Chain A
């Protein structure tokens, strides 16, 4: 009898059932799970799910299609560079004017304009912190309405997600707040409420909603919640906090892994730059 952390089953069970293991690998796995209750249970679980899926109607899913160029939330991406160019122009004019330079505030996105009352924006932010704000990815993810036969959706959730799809964040938050606490869509409601609050600039409320999703443990929404918590930290000029959430996003190895990895590299460069800047200013003093 052996004590096992199910690692052999996690590694081999799916391939064993799908027939992608070689005969020798399959027999090696059999030698193991015949003596390991934990791995046997894991294998039986996948088999039970397969059998149950075979009894259920075939899911009807429309293939993902490219969104139209100006469809919301692509609009945010499209107008982002234009807004950034406007900010640069204004900054250049200000730098040429005789008035003392003001600290840079990111206006590239409406979410940046409102700062949470709980953590006020520092008056004098370092260049690294300014760049951190600009790194924030505040584009909202698209939501795919389930098209499966027999899929029921709670009325408020449906209403909220319809508003979300139309870019109406205020109505979406109002409707999603009415989804019952024990509803199976509760986690999704919290996630999309958080994203809408972030988009509306209510960063403290957004962080609170997203933390609820994270605190509930592993779910389909966990990855998005962690990724957008990182974005909120960036808007708050907290690259170290953003790095923490990006690392957690990457560790899930999900759809956002590459995006988070790329952003984390830039965030880490900022953190290093900030440290170097701090050391130099101390030396000069």
Chain B
């Protein structure tokens, strides 16, 4: 992942300060901090679990597990270095995912869930998902029928280019090329137009 650059100490320092504040507030059981935490990490956890599990229902279940376990662990003050908040949540997400696939117990580490479970519902998260869904529809509508079929067979049916080529009567190389170009086109279309207040907040340090 060497194609990016650090923006400088000021921004990373700012993020570290924010993390520290957030971790402290979570340890104090502040409900506002829990909402802020959910707003920031829910999209990341969901994107990861969706990609890794390739199952929307399972993703919805595991996302809840990861968020609750993370917040419970932070309430108990288990994170000693607040600057590692992102890595901490990512590790919990991986543990829960791997545990699920290893048929191990899917119960979060702490079996003693607090009575007051954090409220993970967020209007802005819903709006963001809906906004992205509409943009995805627009992007798909602009696709050539062959490109649409290739993306469908790849992303929905999970077929490899060789099999798709047989089905569509194209060469595997053509399928590969068209897949790469179509994926990039739709992703750029959706990503560049989607409104994500969370990202703005995280980047600038301002509340949405």
Give A contacts to B, CB under 8 Å: 1-11, 13-14, 16-19, 26-38, 40-54, 56, 58-59, 61, 63-65, 144, 146-148, 151, 184, 218, 220, 252-255, 257
Contact = CB atoms under 8 A, between A and B. Distances in A.
Interface in B179-198: 179-181, 183-191, 194, 196
Contacts, number: 178
Contacts of B54: 17, 19
The 3 closest A-B pairs by CB, nearest first: A63-B169, A7-B3, A45-B190
A151 to B, nearest CB: 7
6 contacts: A14-B183, A16-B51, A30-B90, A45-B194, A58-B152, A63-B168
Interface residues of B, number: 70
A218 B184 CA distance: 11
Main secondary structure of the interface of B (DSSP, over half): helix
Contacts of A10: 184, 187
B163 interface: no
Nearest to B157: A58
Main secondary structure of the interface of A (DSSP, over half): helix
B202 to A, nearest CB: 6
A218 B144 CA distance: 13
A1 B12 contact: yes
B4 A8 contact: yes
Interface in B156-207: 156, 158, 167-170, 174, 177-181, 183-191, 194, 196, 199, 202-203
Contact of B3 (A4, A28, A42): A4
Given A1-B12, A61-B149, A254-B177, A49 B184 contact: no
Contact of B203 (A1, A6, A42): A1
B140 interface: yes
